[in-house]
Amino acid sequence: MALQIGISGLALLLVLLALRVPIAFALGLVSLGGIALLRGPLPAISALETLTFSFIAHWSLSAVPMFLLMGNVAFKSGLTQSLFRAASLWLSALPGGLAIASTAACAMFAAASGSSVATASAMGRIAIPEMLKFKYDPGLATGTVAAAGTLGSLIPPSILIILFAIFAEASIGKMLIAGILPGLLSAFVFAAMIMIRCKINPKLAPKIEDGVSWEERFKILGEVWPLPVLTIGVLGGIYTGIFTPTEAGAGGALIAFAIAAVQGRLTWQVFKESVVESLKATSMIFLIALGGIMLTRFMAVSGVPAAMSSIMGDYATNPVTLVILSSVIYIILGMFLDSIGLMLLTLPVLLPLFEASGADIIWFGVLVIKFLEIGLVTPPVGLNVYIIKGVVGDTVPLETIFKGVLWFIIADIFTLAILITFPEISLYLPNLMQF
């Protein structure tokens, strides 16, 4: 009976999400109703009270608003404006140079923003018009930024990584550091794919006459120093153990404020907009996460994870098979659900299976984030694609953008295969950490 209620609850949840009920309310209502059916109304209300308090009081969660504030200050104060210009001066001579420059700029911006949506939105306004001006294929131009924008989910500091670590009870510091090499690998594979395509078909990206001097190339580097300083300050502090990931969020925000002040860009308007945007995003994330916490309790009470583990039998002891099955689940559901909601919907079911198999949770976390990246550009819901559509308006049809990201989805699948085959890529840096 309990198992039937659990499965029915998941089915109802998917129906509510298909009807566009906000993910936080869908998660919360289904979970609260399910616990009430299984244990009674009073235990359900008690679970809501205790879980809400214990979750909100979780000290590690303070890293979320701090990293959001850091990213908003960097963006609102214009610390990222020179990124694409610098990347294009250094990379424009390569086949598909501007597209590669867009990928590099997205990777650097991701290291400051922690958000895929913010990365795609910001870089889309800068990079896409420039590529279209030089007659780049519209699908390549828009697809590059939509896909490279997803690097914000993997390259730290990533909000998704922090949430995964909290739900999986893994080390936040190790999870953040674990995203560095896979994130750089993803960017490299994107760049390689762009070069190969443009070498085979030069019409995709007409060659730009390179009249840029080395003096200009080195001069532009003086304008992008804030982001390397910010990134090295945050990640270096975490990696060496100088401060915890939670403290790193506050430290990163402080460094961002200091850099903006030194450059004379820290106005009252910048401060106000950064704080307000961070509060809005934090509220949304926390509401969704609370729904996910309730779903975890509902699933545990109903026995769905235990039943799935029993049904899967030998699969639950084979990490690679579990990863392949999980990839199918994430890619299919990623077509319809947003990243945070998808992660919080699946973790209550999949985490117990991976723990039973003895798989490394840090490695699994990196793969989950990679799955979510693919979901951000997969039709019909691909959020980053719609962000880019909003940026370009009627200039590029939606179908063209989806066709453009198809090549990047293939590249992502290739990257996933590498990360699954060689877990050491994800685990090397975390294993060297000082704590």
pLDDT digits (tens, 9 = 90+) for 371-427: 888 888 887 667 788 888 888 888 898 889 989 999 999 999 999 999 999 999 999
Number of Cβ atoms within 10 Å of the Cβ of 139: 20
**Cα gap 288→295, rounded to integer Å:** 11
At 422, phi and psi to the nearest 5? Answer: -125, 80
Cis upstream peptide for 157 (omega within 30°)? yes
User: How far is Cα of residue 130 from the mean position of the Cα atoms in its chain?
Assistant: 25
At 30, phi and psi to the nearest 5? Answer: -65, -45
pLDDT in tens, 10-51: 888 878 877 878 777 888 888 889 989 888 888 888 888 888
Number of Cβ atoms within 10 Å of the Cβ of 399: 10
Is residue 435 predicted with pLDDT exceeding 60?
no
316-341: average pLDDT: 75
C-alpha dihedral (198, 201, 202, 205), degrees to nearest 10 = -50
Residue 314 has a pLDDT of 55
Structure tokens at 304: 């769905």
Nearest to 362 by CA among 158, 189, 173: 173
Is residue 200 predicted with pLDDT exceeding 90?
yes
* 22 CB-contact burial (10 Å; exposed 0-12 / middle 13-18 / buried 19+): middle
With beta carbons less than 8 A apart as the criterion, state whether 414 and 189 touch. Answer: yes
Residue 6 has a pLDDT of 83
pLDDT in tens, 157-190: 888 888 898 888 888 888 988 999 999 999 999 9
Cα–Cα distances (Å) from 296 to 29, 291, 340, in that order, read 13, 9, 14
* Residue 209 binned pLDDT confidence (cut-offs 50, 70, 90): low
**Cα gap 161→355, rounded to integer Å:** 18
Structure tokens at 396: 């590029």
Tell me the chain's radius of gyration from C-alpha atoms. 22
Residue spans per domain, the chain: 62-432
